[in-house]
Chains A and B, each alone.
Chain A
Amino acid sequence: MGDLSRADGMRTKVAKPLETQVVIIGGGVAGTNVARELSKYKVDVILVERDADVAAGESKSNHGFVYSSIGILDAFSLVLKSAVSGGGAKLFDKETMKVKWSMEGYDLFESLAKELDLPYTNPGCLIIARNKEEVKGLEGLVDISKIMSEETGRECIPRWLGREEVLALEPNVTPDAVCGIYDDRWCKLIYPWDLSIALAESARENGARMIFNAEVLKVTCQNGGFTVETAQGPIKTQFIVNAAGRGVAAVAGMAGVCDFGLNFNRSQMVLMDKRLKGTANNIVFVPPKPGWFGAVVPRREGNLYVSCGAYYPTQRWEAENTATRKEWFFECITEGQRIFPSISERDVIASFVGVRVFNTRNPDDHIVEVTKNPRFINMAVRLPGNAFCIAAAKHVAEMLGNQGLQLSGKMDFNSQRKAIPRVNELPCEERDALDACDPRYGHIVCRCEGVTEGEIVEAIRRGATTVQGIQFRTRAGMGRCQRGFCGPRVVEILSRELDIPKTEVSFKGPGSEILLYRGKELL
């Protein structure tokens, strides 16, 4: 793979208008999937992203479930999200784009994960009941699963577990558990940002260009195409794929093709220390109520994600507000303790808020369609999007083809991408071998997660330009000291490798520089 870190005018204003065939707006899971899909063809593509990196919005702050739209997790999600649609609609509708394309994407996921060397796990899903009311909740979920099974012809009815079986599966779960339902077939678990990062790397490897810190300011329609004015300069293009996440309606509005609004809601999640490794073996839930949920998700490295509490409706002007709140924090911990009593606020190492986006036209479904301007495609993707977007990207390519974009396959498309080695997880001999090639793989920079200088340098070579970019690609800074130790060292490596002064190294893009002044500058 070539040196990508300085490519694409990421830090310099684009002087002349760039010209391309397709501009993809948004570097989340939708946009990066489309970029990668189009990079299979002889099509010139530029992805523009408002932030400094891919997966900057919802695509980084979701649970990382890759779900198929059937099974207990989906039944769970339907009950939970019925709060958004008002519960009026039919709970499970196999004719929706959501169901059809999620299943399609789920079927494609394993081979995609192989191509992209994307780590994923397949913990089972266990939903427990702690009282009669919750048992009823479980029954409801099983009923939905039965409908799903019948309508789709895919067997997804969970297994009932008695108390003893629940405790055998999850020895640390609350003693209040009376029974549970279990399935391990229809959901996989990834780190959400891993997917966007891997897709973006693969797309760029195959010729797609990406421009970051390039908020779209204006879209002008001309005969046969558009000019997209971005914070990094104008781009002339024949087609636009609008996958701008929280900004999707605003961008569509700029081109006069917006016929939907957006609704938002938020919830808070906490990340627990990997000291708790082994506390949970499965993704463990309690039955949801409309707009209320409780989940504990075990991660490969041993950390737990605890997200319990309400779905908080969020006003439009607060769509960018991801501030955490103390009461949400305690809601998370208290409800988490009611699932695993050993969960304690002492083990929290980070907490953050995710914002979910629903379109107002049909909150139960996604919008992926050619608009009244046939060269402009809207992708208003809601949760769950990780599996859905794999299929959606293929359909978007088809739509573009139908609208006249020439899609001829590239002979030299390289479907394979290798992940950055996780030195910490390698056996001794392999570590030694890597170290012999490049001693930087022996030098640990992040001591909490055991991340080496070699991994960090490689992340920068692949396009990380910020401290957070390195964190998501390598886990450096994701551990219990939260960059206390590795922060200054990562800043130093970024400054050295990108050849920029330390005062320009940022946490997550322009405006988030970490060191504002040189010593003595203020005297």
Chain B
Amino acid sequence: MVDQPVDVAVIGGGPAGLAAAIKAREAGAERVTIIERSESLGGLLDQCIHTGFGLFYFREDLTGPEYAHRFIERATDLGVKTQLETMVLDITSDRKITATGKDGMVALEARAIVLAMGCRERTRESVMIPGTRPAGILTAGTAQRYVNVDGFIPGKDIVILGSGDIGMIMARRLAMEGTNVKAVVEILPYVGGLIRNEVQCLYDFDIPVFLEHTVVEVHGRQRVEGVTIAKLDKSQELMPGTERLIGCDTLLLSVGLIPENEVSLAAGVKLNPLTGGPIVDDRRETSIPGIFAAGNVVHVHDLVDNVTWEGELAGVFAAEYAMAKAVPVKRRITMEVGENIRYVVPNHICPEREVTIYVRVKEPQEKVSIKVGDITTKSYRAVKPSEMIKLELSRNELGKIKEGVKTLIVNCQKRGREDDKGTGNYLHYVSDGLSGEGGR
């Protein structure tokens, strides 16, 4: 066991962790260490060989590895230390870290910690797909690794359950590999994930989409031999007579992502049941002072660019905390969810600092206004759960928060009444807020 004191320890070397480490160094923290459990930095970006990364952050269209590379280089230049193939086992509330790696057990004491462990995919059991348990059932992200990193194709005839972004991207990827993507099956009446993925991955590749359908049984003893899909009614009950058997050797699942917070829980960090991630303030500080969190560990993002921004925020404030320069919070406002809002991040803001809040709606809606307390109202032509809404609150708007106000409720409400009948012909949204990081 080696004892090494560090200023900022970053758990996880994906996009959030890299951004946090870089900003922490730039903000003046001397000893910044990233602890990463896999063989290389970049997190899941190394398996995302498609483009679409950095459109907002760099105003360039990059692949995942290219996007990651820029941050890995910058971190290396800044002297950020990395411990690869090292997995954090435990964190205490006073920021002692225990990890294990090829060099044995590692004990680390950190002045500040940034949690950036990302998320994991929901599995077959979390959506209860009955039937046999053969080989050939994989999550879309696992399949992506097999195809893009290892260079192997799981099967020839593919059915994909869930139209989250990773699922759609894998539909395209596997079609390009010469497989027969026989169906993308979505339980909701609309395709999930980002519109650009729906167009570029499904429509452009003529992949059949079955909406309001789900997989009701898996067949095959050793290897998947087929799946039965069926249509569901409005209350998500199976409609008898709609079952159809699709012969396939592979079933990919793209049914949502879950923030990975086992280590956060060990430290005693409080989680927000609405996001599955830690409760954070505008600095991304968790319920435990000196422990910050950013990226998909906080809430599942659609775009890596937003993950980076969130990581930067956590990095800057973690550095401040480590150097004992943190400005004491005079006043804390709690953000609460109102009508048609699934969640708001951060959970707490400070009226003295400009802040960007991230909002995800529950249901798709057209012609709405999103109100933050009584300080601001913004109008949107359409909102949907798959696309996160960013609201920048200016100093001016924050100044409108009256003395004594402790909470701000965020509401998403319909504007006017005149357009109740038409929902338009091009409305896309996802089953839940967890359906995917669009960049993947």
- In the assembled complex, the Cα of A518 lies from the Cα of B154 at a distance in Å of 9
Residue B64 lies at the interface, judged by CB distance under 8 Å to chain A: no
Q: Closest approach, in angstroms, between the C-beta of A233 and any C-beta of chain B?
A: 21
Chain B neighbourhood of A484, CB < 8 A: 120-121, 123, 139, 141-142
**CB of B122, distance to nearest CB on chain A (Å):** 9
Residues 421-461 of A, flagged 1 when their CB comes within 8 A of B and 0 if not, give 00000001001100110011011100100101000000000
Expressed in whole angstroms, the Cα–Cα distance for A450 and B124 within the complex equals 21
Residue in A435, A508, A517 whose beta carbon sits within 8 Å of that of B152 in the complex: A517
Q: Is A512 an interface residue (CB 8 A)?
A: yes
> Which residue of A349, A452, A511, A517 contacts B125 across the interface (Cβ within 8 Å)?
A349
- Interchain CB contact under 8 A, B1 and A432: yes
Within 8 A of A (CB), among B119-167: 120-121, 123-126, 128, 130-136, 138-139, 141-142, 145-147, 149-156
> What A residues does B101 contact at CB under 8 A?
442-443
Cross-chain contact A443 with B104 (CB below 8 angstroms): no
- A512 near B134: Cβ-Cβ < 8 Å: yes
CB under 8 Å from chain B, chain A span 471-494: 480-485, 487-488, 491-492
Q: Which A residues touch B102, using CB under 8 A?
A: 435, 439-440, 442-443
* A512 → B minimal CB distance (Å): 4
Interface centre among B152, B155, B156, B179, by most chain A C-beta atoms within 10 angstroms, is B152
**With the chains together, A368 CA to B37 CA distance in Å?**
51
- B243 contacts the other chain (Cβ, under 8 Å)? no
Task: Assign chain B's interface to a size class.
Answer: 35 or more
The one of B103, B131, B139, B147 that contacts A519, using a Cβ cutoff of 8 Å: B147
B100 within 8 A of A: yes
Cα–Cα distance between A350 and B124 once the two chains are bound (Å)? 8
Q: Which residues of B contact A452 (CB under 8 A)?
A: 100
Would you call B100 and A507 a contact (CB within 8 A)? no
The answer on a CB contact under 8 Å between B222 and A510 is yes
Q: Known contacts A436-B104, A513-B135, A514-B154; decide if A520 and B177 are in contact (CB<8 Å).
A: yes
User: Is B133 within 8 A of A502, CB to CB?
Assistant: no
Within 8 Å CB of A439, what residues of B? 102-104
Report A-chain residues with C-beta under 8 Å of the C-beta of B149. 488
**Count of A interface residues, CB-CB < 8 Å:** 57
Residue numbers in B under 8 Å from A4 (CB-CB): none
- Cβ of B239 under 8 Å from chain A: no
- On chain B, the residues within 8 Å of A487 by CB distance are 138, 142
Chain B residues contacting A320 (CB-CB under 8 Å) are 221
Within the complex, what minimum Cβ distance (angstroms) separates A496 from chain B?
12
Selected from B124, B133, B135, B216, the residue in CB contact (under 8 A) with A506 is: B135
Say yes or no for B87: interface residue by CB 8 A criterion.
yes
A509 contacts chain B at the CB level, 8 A cutoff:
yes
Residues of A within 8 A of B328 (CB): none
B217 within 8 A of A: yes
A-B pair number, CB within 8 angstroms: 149
Residue in chain A with minimal CB distance to B179: A522
CA distance A85 to B176 in the complex (A): 58
Do the beta carbons of A450 and B89 come within 8 Å of each other? yes
B100:A442 contact, CB within 8 angstroms: yes
The smallest C-beta distance from A29 to any residue of chain B, in angstroms, reads 21
Residue of B nearest to A523 (CB): B178
Is B85's CB within 8 Å of the partner chain A? yes
Decide: B128 and A518 in contact? CB cutoff 8 A: no
A435 touches B135 (CB 8 A): no
Inside 8 A of A316's CB, which chain B residues have their CB?
A: none
CB pair A432–B104 under 8 Å, yes or no, is: yes
> CA of A346 to CA of B249 in the docked complex: distance in angstroms?
28
| B277 shortest CB reach to chain A, Å | 16
CB nearest neighbor in B for A348: B125
Is A516's beta carbon under 8 Å from chain B? yes
Secondary structure call for the B interface: mixed
Say whether B414 faces chain A, with CB atoms less than 8 Å apart.
Answer: no
* Residue of A432, A435, A442, A480 ringed by the most chain B CB atoms within 10 A: A442
* A326-B135 in contact (CB<8A): no
Residue in A closest to B140 when the chains form the complex, CB atoms: A484
Contact of A503 among B1, B121, B152, B178 (CB under 8 A): B152
Is B249 a contact partner of A516 (Cβ separation < 8 A)? yes
B153 to chain A: closest residue by CB: A517
A329's partner among B37, B128, B134 (CB-CB below 8 A) is: B128
Q: Which residues of A contact B124 (CB under 8 A)?
A: 482
Contact string, A292-326, partner B, CB cutoff 8 A, digits 1/0?
00000000000000000000000000001011111
- Given the known interface contacts A443-B101, A450-B89, the answer about A516 and B154 at a Cβ–Cβ threshold of 8 Å is yes
- Alpha-carbon gap, A482 to B137, bound state (A): 11
CB distance from A174 to the nearest CB of B (A): 23
CB of A329 to closest CB in B, whole Å: 6
How close is B5's CB to chain A, nearest CB, in angstroms?
A: 19
Known A431-B100, A450-B89, A484-B142: A519·B153 in contact at CB below 8 Å: yes
A435, B105: Cβ atoms under 8 Å? yes
- B100 interface neighbour in A329, A435, A518, Cβ under 8 Å: A435
- How far, in whole Å, are A503 and B37 apart by their CA atoms in the complex? 26
Question: Nearest chain B CB to A63's CB is how many angstroms away?
Answer: 18
A351: interface (CB < 8 Å): yes
Cβ of B223 within 8 Å of any chain A Cβ, yes or no, is yes
Kindly state whether residue B98 has any CB partner on chain A within 8 Å: yes
Complex Cα gap A436–B104 (Å): 7
CB distance from A50 to the nearest CB of B (A): 12
Asked, given contacts A442-B101, A447-B87, whether A509 binds B222 with beta carbons under 8 Å apart, the answer is yes
- Residue among B103, B130, B131, B149 facing the most chain A CB atoms (10 A cut-off): B130
Which of chain B's residues have a CB closer than 8 A to the CB of A516? Answer: 153-156, 249-250
Check A508–B222 contact: CB distance below 8 A.
yes
A440 to B135, CA, bound (A): 27
Q: Which 4 A-B pairs have the closest CB atoms?
A: A522-B178, A511-B222, A507-B135, A515-B152
Sampled A-B contacts (16; CB under 8 Å) = A322-B133, A326-B130, A428-B1, A432-B105, A435-B103, A442-B101, A443-B101, A450-B89, A481-B123, A484-B121, A484-B123, A488-B146, A510-B222, A515-B154, A522-B153, A523-B177
B-side interface residues toward A, CB under 8 Å? Answer: 1, 37, 85, 87, 89, 98, 100-105, 120-121, 123-126, 128, 130-136, 138-139, 141-142, 145-147, 149-156, 177-179, 216-218, 221-223, 249-250
Binding site for B on A (CB under 8 A): 320, 322-326, 329, 345-346, 348-352, 428, 431-432, 435-436, 439-440, 442-444, 447, 450, 452, 480-485, 487-488, 491-492, 502-503, 506-523
**Additional 7 contacts, C-beta under 8 A, given A428-B98, A431-B100, A482-B124:** A435-B102, A442-B102, A481-B123, A484-B141, A512-B134, A515-B154, A518-B152
